[in-house]
């Protein structure tokens, strides 16, 4: 099914994976997909870091999921380092394989200068090309705290609104306070954009995760950091994990109460934390 149609049909829950790089990672991912199937996710998405090898792994995994027919898949695409002709061929290959759901992203600039040449400047250019190429359901990324490379939050929101005018929905970077999502949605609404914005959820389950999340563009608020540190004092790593799961459940409940169209879980190719959060929400 198309993701835009699923969103029109009611509250969704979706999971994000990255393509495996080794046989060992393939085994872990296969187990995760098997464990999550009973939750009947609305759709799953598969990331793409860039480069020909990663692109092929994403394509292979997405098309495999679609062929098996148990799950609806969405493919991530990045435009950095691609020509328009190359990206048009990629899009057509997905259409030929029956994949109509894509996430249009800018992507990180490659460290290898040989890969840095690109006929695209922003994700907006990729959204436009996807619209020209076929009847895709197109998602774009939203950053509640602003994209790390944006000049400021106002500029970030301006370009997000421009992307969302052409796209069908947005998925946010993970965040940790409900007001970050509600403020983002309210800002877009003031700009005339009311398309679905799925909140991205990733629990912080270790003390090391507090600093790691900041490097990924989502600072952990002091209140949550203090909760996790207090849990560690009381019960060690296991207590930290339990408190992180509890905080994620609270966040999910708050954004759903605020009208979120669904929840998008960043799984890191592991199912345990996601299943625990989802179980708490449905019981």
Catalytic amino acids?
A: 16
Judged on CB neighbours under 10 Å (0-12, 13-18, 19+), 105 is buried
Q: What is the DSSP letter of 221?
A: P
Cα separation, 184 vs 147, in Å, equals 13
Q: Which two tokens stand for residue 134?
A: 């076929």
- DSSP of 152-165: SHHHHHHHHHHHHH
Residues whose CB falls within 8 Å of the CB of residue 260, separated by 6 or more in sequence, listed in order: 11, 181, 197, 198, 199
Q: Which of 179, 184, 188, 192 is nearest to 221 (CA)?
A: 179
Cβ-contact 199, 172 below 8 angstroms: yes
The dihedral built from the CA positions of residue 32, 175, 208 and 282, taken in this order, carries a sign that is: negative
| DSSP β-bridge partners for residue 105 | 78
């Amino acid at each position: 099914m198309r993701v835009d149609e699923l969103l029109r049909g009611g509250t969704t829950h979706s999971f994000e994976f990255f393509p495996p790089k080794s046989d060992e990672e393939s085994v872990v991912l296969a187990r995760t997909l098997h464990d999550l199937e009973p939750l009947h996710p609305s759709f799953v998405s598969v990331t793409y870091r860039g480069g020909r090898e990663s692109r092929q792994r994403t394509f292979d995994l997405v098309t495999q999921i679609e062929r098996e027919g148990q799950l609806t898949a969405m493919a991530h695409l990045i435009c950095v380092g691609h020509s328009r002709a190359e990206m048009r061929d990629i899009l057509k290959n997905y259409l030929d394989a029956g994949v109509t759901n894509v996430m249009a992203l800018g992507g990180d600039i490659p460290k290898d200068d040989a890969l840095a040449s690109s006929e695209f400047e922003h994700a907006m250019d990729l959204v436009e090309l996807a619209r020209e190429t076929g009847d895709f359901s197109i998602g774009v990324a939203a950053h509640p705290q602003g994209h790390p490379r944006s000049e400021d939050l106002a500029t970030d929101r301006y370009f997000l609104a421009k992307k969302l005018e052409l796209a069908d929905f947005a998925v946010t970077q993970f965040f940790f306070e409900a007001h970050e999502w509600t403020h983002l949605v309210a800002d877009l609404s003031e700009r005339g954009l009311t398309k679905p914005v799925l909140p991205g959820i990733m629990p912080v389950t270790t003390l090391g995760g507090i600093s790691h999340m900041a490097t990924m563009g989502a600072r952990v608020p002091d209140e949550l950091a203090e909760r996790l540190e207090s849990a560690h004092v009381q019960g060690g790593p296991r207590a930290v994990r339990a408190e992180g799961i509890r905080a994620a459940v609270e966040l999910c409940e708050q954004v759903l109460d605020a009208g979120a169209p669904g929840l998008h879980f960043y799984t890191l190719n592991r199912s345990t934390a996601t299943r625990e959060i989802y179980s708490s929400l449905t019981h």
